[in-house]
Amino acid sequence: MVEEQIPKYFLEIAYNGTAYHGWQIQDNAVSVQEKLNQALSILLREEVETIGAGRTDSGVHAKQLFVHFSSKAKVLENKDRFVHSLNALMPFDISAKRLIEVDAKAHARFDATQRSYEYHVHFQKDPFLHEFSWQLRDKPDVEKMNIAALDLLGRQDFSCFSKSNTQVFTNYCDIKRAEWLWDGDRLVFHISADRFLRNMVRAIVGTLMEIGLGKKPIEHIKEVIQSMDRSKAGTSVPACGLYLTEVNYPYID
């Protein structure tokens, strides 16, 4: 007897992370995953557990995150109507963007081939950027930071930028892009890799800022990486400026 396959779906979401203690469900704090699971369970009329492409820390935003779940519910047949109904059940700061039926073996976390982040910095007080960008007084030397960022590229052990006591199999990541660009009078750091360690991007930004503000030489970044010591890297910058912007899969446009 052939066992009936339960359809599997990827759901693309976006969220303002200000009010949440990160993506992942926690016992004593409100998370994005908790709110999403609650809304899905109401709409599908069954308990739903989602698996995300990764987890963002408290206060970090996501312009794109994919999650997967399985269900035979009829409401999933009209994907556009489903997304509209789900959005009506979720808080204003979490949105569903599209629903995609995928192969039963597809996995939102393990199948992702690349993840991209942005870190936003501004230099003039702006009430509309308060929870969405890091305000700095002094402008850094962007050319120096971009020269230093070249040493981040490639597959390396990035233990120096990871939170301690994280349960991961390896601290090796393959960084494909690390670049600062001006966006008008704001500064944005773009970084892409196959995977990231906890707190990694914010620690990298803090280290590059030390170089850009003249506190450390350009060669400092290479020394930090070789040390594999978190205490050698810069301070983690505030979560409000960090955005998960893109997650790539071989089978999703």
What residues act catalytically? 57
Show the tokens assigned to 114: 């690349």
Q: Among all chains, which residue has been given the structure tokens 């009829």? A: 74
Q: Among all chains, which residue has been given the structure tokens 């700061």? A: 93
Question: What contacts 93, CB < 8 A, 6 or more positions away?
Answer: 15, 16, 18, 19, 20
Distance CA(242)–CA(145), nearest Å, equals 18
By CB atoms closer than 10 A (0-12, 13-18, 19+), residue 153 is middle
Q: How far is CA 109 from the centre of its chain?
A: 12
9 is in an annotated binding site: no
Distance CA(96)–CA(81), nearest Å, equals 11
At 90, the amino acid letter reads M
3-class DSSP assignment, residue 61? strand
> Are the CB atoms for 87 and 15 separated by under 8 Å?
no
CB atoms within 10 A of CB 96: 22
Q: How far is CA 89 from the centre of its chain?
A: 23
Distance CA(242)–CA(118), nearest Å, equals 6
Distance CA(202)–CA(182), nearest Å, equals 18
Annotated binding-site residue numbers: 117
Binding-site annotation: residue ranges for substrate: 117
